[in-house]
Amino acid sequence: MPSVTIDDGLTRSILEMAPNGIYEIDVRGTILFSNPAHHRLLGYEPGSLVGRSILDLVPEADAARLRRDLDFLRREKPKPEPYLNRSFTRDGGEIMVEVHWTYKTAADGTVTGFIAILNDVTDRIEAEALREKARRAAEEAAAARSRFLATASHDLRQPLQALSLFVSRLERRGMEPAAREIVGDIRDSVGTLSSLLDSLLDMSRFDAGMTRTTIEAVPLAPLFRGIARDFAPVAERKGLRLRLRPPPEGLAVRSDARLLQRVVGNLVSNAITYTQTGGVLLCARRRGASVRVEVWDTGLGIDPDHLDRVFHEFYQIDGAAGDQGGGLGLGLAIVDRAARALGHAVDARSRPGRGSMFAITAPGVPVRAAAPGAALLAGADGQPAGEALLTPLNAAVAVVENDPAVRRALVTLLEEWRCRVVAAAGDGHSLLRALAEARGVPDVIVADLRLPGGMDGMEAVAAVRAELGESVPALIVTGDTDPTRLRGAAGQGVPILHKPVSVPDLHAALSQIIGG
């Protein structure tokens, strides 16, 4: 190993002028040389450090470690590596230094000392600590927000679920036109509130990393028809016209059918919300191997300063929605998150006073036969979902739901489907007692996820299975959006429906479980 020396006059002169602190110590830690920069760094008069021990300049705990390190380096001579160390200043302060060092050796290779160069990295370390503290604070704030959203969403979904089921019962009864119109208005209001809660749920899913995609050929024609069915009445109520430029029947994109429908629906909904006169146009254009789905509106437009920020969570342009209200400011944030999950590009342009255009671009594919994604979009052309309600399920169903109104509505609905229902008011222990009294094995367990009594819905299902000695199928119907809870349930392969659940969706899920 080559020896380094600072004994000659030229080397010493150069080191005296160096801006970095440089010192030489012997194997016991006695300082043999210390340049002016080293003295300034620690606040000492020039020359006053020579003859002192380097161990005196570090905290006591570090001194013991440094003493052991010097002995180890002298004996083993490992490759020099830079390290961070604390050092005292003359006024009692403490700084953090980065130490780069090498050996000083005799002619026979014996280690006689060490030469080190110091860099004061106190500011850098403190800045890194502040950044880490800010990062942790941001993560804690995000976690707190997610917990709040999950709890608030759950508590709001409970009465909304009961209301939805009760309205469904009213709609199936004979009523005079005026009463039917009132029930229709209630249904619309329930749908609006449900949409707001769905937005909260979508963001919780993205935060939890629970959004799974099934990429397949998704035909655009049925997707467009579904959008027209859902949003044309909304536009008409505002005095707007929703126009479609229908894509060819064979035009499709590689995407996830449900997520793409959510994205396009959010873009159309956003356009209607922020347009007061004129209309909204939905169209699709080929761009080489890709397809752009575009939504144009004649709204107020967006100032360039706001255009990038409209995709941020909870961001809204003050007053832009007029008297209609702008929702939660999550619609375009969901579009952005969903597009990233799908690997699709989203772009927008706008002219204040003229309107806006939002587009999503996806890989195009030809559809020579019925596309797999068409099945998920068939509701746009299929029979009314209400006809499914006439099909009896003829099954034994165990229900555990702690909300009395939801439980009563759910039991009534199941009985209309000719189900034999065992319902528990409260927790999983109540369900076990009710099943013991009924002396039967249910065909399916319908459970809320968040239950009182120290046992959640999944634990209640597991307890019933263990008690009966059978793997009874289960369905979780929950208003919970807590990512941890949802991951736990999904990880056990139990299907989940999120409140408020529509009657057709509930019937379809139970039919699949019972029939499977």
Q: What is the pLDDT of residues 318-337, one digit of tens each?
A: 555 444 444 556 778 888 88
One DSSP character per residue, 299-321 reads: S----HHHHTGGGSTT---TTTT
Looking at the structure, tell me whether residues 240 and 376 fall in a common domain. Answer: yes
Looking at the structure, tell me whether residues 159 and 221 fall in a common domain. Answer: no
Question: Which domain range does residue 377 map to?
Answer: 216-382
Q: If pLDDT is split at 50, 70 and 90, which confidence band does 292 have? A: very high
pLDDT at 156: 74
Q: Which residue type does 238 have?
A: K
The residues, any chain, with a CB within 8 Å of residue 318's CB and separated by 6 or more, are: none
* Cα distance between residue 187 and residue 192, in whole Å: 9
* Cα distance between residue 412 and residue 170, in whole Å: 12
Q: DSSP H helical segments within 316-385, as ranges?
A: 331-342
pLDDT at 368: 54
pLDDT at 240: 94
Q: Which helix (H) or strand (E) holds 167?
A: helix 122-171
Looking at the structure, tell me whether residues 232 and 366 fall in a common domain. Answer: yes
Query: Model pTM?
Result: 0.49
Domain assignment present for 127: no
Domain assignment present for 134: no
Domain assignment present for 372: yes
User: Is the pLDDT score of 501 beyond 60?
Assistant: yes
Domain assignment present for 338: yes
Looking at the structure, tell me whether residues 372 and 418 fall in a common domain. Answer: no
CB 279 within 8 A of CB 228: no
Q: Which CATH number goes with the domain that contains 240?
A: 3.30.565.10
Q: Which residues pair with 88 in a beta bridge?
A: 94
pLDDT at 493: 78
Looking at the structure, tell me whether residues 222 and 269 fall in a common domain. Answer: yes
Residue 430's CB is within 10 A of a number of other CB atoms, namely 19
CA separation, residue 75 to residues 25, 54, 100, 228, 243 (Å): 16, 19, 19, 82, 84
| Range 237-262 average pLDDT | 88
Looking at the structure, tell me whether residues 450 and 499 fall in a common domain. Answer: yes
Q: Which residue type does 335 have?
A: V
58-95 residue pLDDT tens: 988 888 889 999 999 999 999 999 999 889 999 989 99
Q: If pLDDT is split at 50, 70 and 90, which confidence band does 296 have? A: very high
User: Is the pLDDT score of 363 beyond 90?
Assistant: yes
436-457 residue pLDDT tens: 888 889 999 999 888 887 788 8
Q: Give the residue with greater pLDDT, 484 vs 455.
A: 455
* Cα distance between residue 338 and residue 328, in whole Å: 17
Q: Where are the extended beta strands (E) located within 448-503? A: 474-478, 496-498
Q: Which of 372-376, 455-459, 471-475 has the lowest mean pLDDT?
A: 372-376
Average pLDDT over the chain reads 83
Q: Which helix (H) or strand (E) holds 364?
A: strand 355-366
186-240 residue pLDDT tens: 877 777 777 767 766 677 667 666 567 778 899 999 899 888 988 888 899 889 9
pLDDT at 20: 93
Looking at the structure, tell me whether residues 504 and 357 fall in a common domain. Answer: no
Q: Which CATH number goes with the domain that contains 152?
A: 3.40.50.2300
Of 382, 416, 435, the one marking the end of a domain is: 382
* Cα distance between residue 493 and residue 490, in whole Å: 5
| Range 406-435 average pLDDT | 88
Looking at the structure, tell me whether residues 412 and 510 fall in a common domain. Answer: yes
Q: Which of 213, 187, 201, 93 is nearest to 386 (CA)?
A: 187
Retrieve residue 503's tokens.
Answer: 């009657």
pLDDT at 281: 96
User: Is the pLDDT score of 121 beyond 90?
Assistant: yes
Retrieve residue 428's tokens.
Answer: 């999983």
Q: Give the residue with greater pLDDT, 209 vs 504.
A: 504
User: Is the pLDDT score of 37 beyond 50?
Assistant: yes
Looking at the structure, tell me whether residues 234 and 376 fall in a common domain. Answer: yes
pLDDT at 89: 92
Q: Which helix (H) or strand (E) holds 31?
A: strand 31-34
Any idea which residue has 């019925």 for tokens?
370
* Cα distance between residue 406 and residue 467, in whole Å: 26
pLDDT at 322: 46
* Cα distance between residue 502 and residue 510, in whole Å: 12
User: Is the pLDDT score of 242 beyond 90?
Assistant: yes
- How many H helices and E strands in the chain? 14, 17
Any idea which residue has 């890194």 for tokens?
128
Looking at the structure, tell me whether residues 291 and 185 fall in a common domain. Answer: no
User: Is the pLDDT score of 377 beyond 80?
Assistant: no
Q: If pLDDT is split at 50, 70 and 90, which confidence band does 128 have? A: very high
Q: If pLDDT is split at 50, 70 and 90, which confidence band does 343 have? A: very high
| Range 349-360 average pLDDT | 91
Of 86, 120, 154, the one marking the end of a domain is: 120
| Range 147-171 average pLDDT | 77
- Dihedral (Cα; 457, 462, 463, 468), 10-degree rounding: 130
Domain assignment present for 67: yes
